[in-house]
Amino acid sequence: MKFNKLSQLILVSIIVLFAAALLTSCAINTIDYVFVANSAGSGAGSAGQIQTYDADSGTGALRQGQANVPSGGIQPVAMAVTADFSNLYVVNQGSNNVVHFAVSGSGVLTQKDVVTTSATPVSVAVNTAETYLYVVSGPDPAVLTAYPLSSGTIGAALPAVSLIVPGFTTDTIVPTGVNVLTNNGAVYVSAYDQSAYNPGGGTTSSANPGWVFGFAVGSGGALTATTNSPYKAGIKPSALVSDPTNRFVYVTDFASNELIGYTIQDGSTLDFLINGPFKTGNEPNAIAIDPRGIYLYVTNGLDSTVSAFTITLATGTPSASVNPSGSQTNTTDTTPVALVVDPAIGRFVYTANQLGNSISGFVLNPNTGALATTQSTPYPTGDQPTAVVAIPHGNHAIQVVSP
């Protein structure tokens, strides 16, 4: 059958419109860029990489975004972003370095400077003022180091502060996390005493095994131990977070399957919440609070779940939130080890699943804190993802609601 030119033109137009419709149906309205750190290969010495995902504003579903970039080292284990979301810092444990990346408005990462740490780096945090980067390293030695920042660039390290339990100065301290208050006034480090807690091995100390070290930030970034620091923190604290109002600190206890809460007194001193600790799933290992400061989420590595809590603002007490299925847990892929609440609208939660080689996504109910799975979750990643952060797309404001 032959077509005249008019018929051919109509046919071509129909094909073009059909193709455009297909493309439109596949398009997403990106609200966040989600960055995941993982190994580029399965070998112990494989170089790390950072993967970028675009998050859909309507569903929270993820798709591959910008091209993968090297993490700048081996075995990336932690990441942090500046408050303006223009700088990303990656801790590479296998190569003892911290790598700085500039983040463009379209989610492109460009490596800038690199600093080598004096001991094995474990975790990283950056203050809201974007003037200091805090890196905790250990256990040989266990130290907290502050690095001045200038437009994101990492400066020369200030004198490191040792993590020592009074009366047990020769004990081996293993740091697990670091957090800085949003008012820039204090820094906290979670750690456990391996001389007192050493499953499968011997112990040589009668010290309490779990601790939180507190430091007030003074002139020029000087760190001074807060009153009564360090503070007891169960058996094996694995991660910690502070709320946006600088009133509460929460710590996960990996060994006791608990969440420990503290009130912040006099700007930096910690005191236990009187009605804690609070039950989590098995082997909690990461924690995050939503931008509003009213919902708290914990990953449970052994259970492959996320526990959701609502924070009672008057007291800081976290109460378990029940998801739509009637359960208090939310299933992820295998072994979640990190999580983030999206900063653009505070409506999505993502976990990095180390043994599942994936990200799990959840939709956060802003009225209850309950979670429901996103479309097509989990999303595949490279080998053994260990850290996840998110930044808002340039077209969206940060939806922080003061509690």
Domains, the chain, ordered by start: 42-392 (2.130.10.10)
Q: 243: helix, coil or strand?
A: coil
Omega before residue 76 within 30° of 0, cis: no
Q: Please report the pLDDT score of residue 27 as a whole number.
A: 58
Q: Please report the pLDDT score of residue 56 as a whole number.
A: 96
Dihedrals phi, psi of 70, to nearest 5 degrees: -65, 145
Chain mean position to CA 225: 25
Residue where the block lists tokens 């005493």: 193
The answer to whether 284 and 274 have CB atoms below 8 angstroms apart is: no
Q: Please report the pLDDT score of residue 19 as a whole number.
A: 40
User: Per residue of the chain (403 residues), what is the pLDDT tens digit?
Assistant: 444 554 554 444 444 444 433 333 345 688 999 999 999 877 777 899 999 999 999 999 999 999 999 999 999 999 999 999 999 999 999 999 999 999 999 999 999 999 999 899 999 999 999 999 999 999 989 999 999 999 999 999 999 999 999 999 999 999 999 999 999 999 999 999 999 999 989 999 999 999 999 999 999 999 999 999 999 999 999 999 999 999 999 999 999 999 999 999 999 999 999 899 999 999 999 999 999 999 999 999 999 999 999 999 999 999 988 777 777 779 999 999 999 999 999 999 999 999 999 999 999 999 999 999 999 999 999 999 999 999 998 644 444 444 4
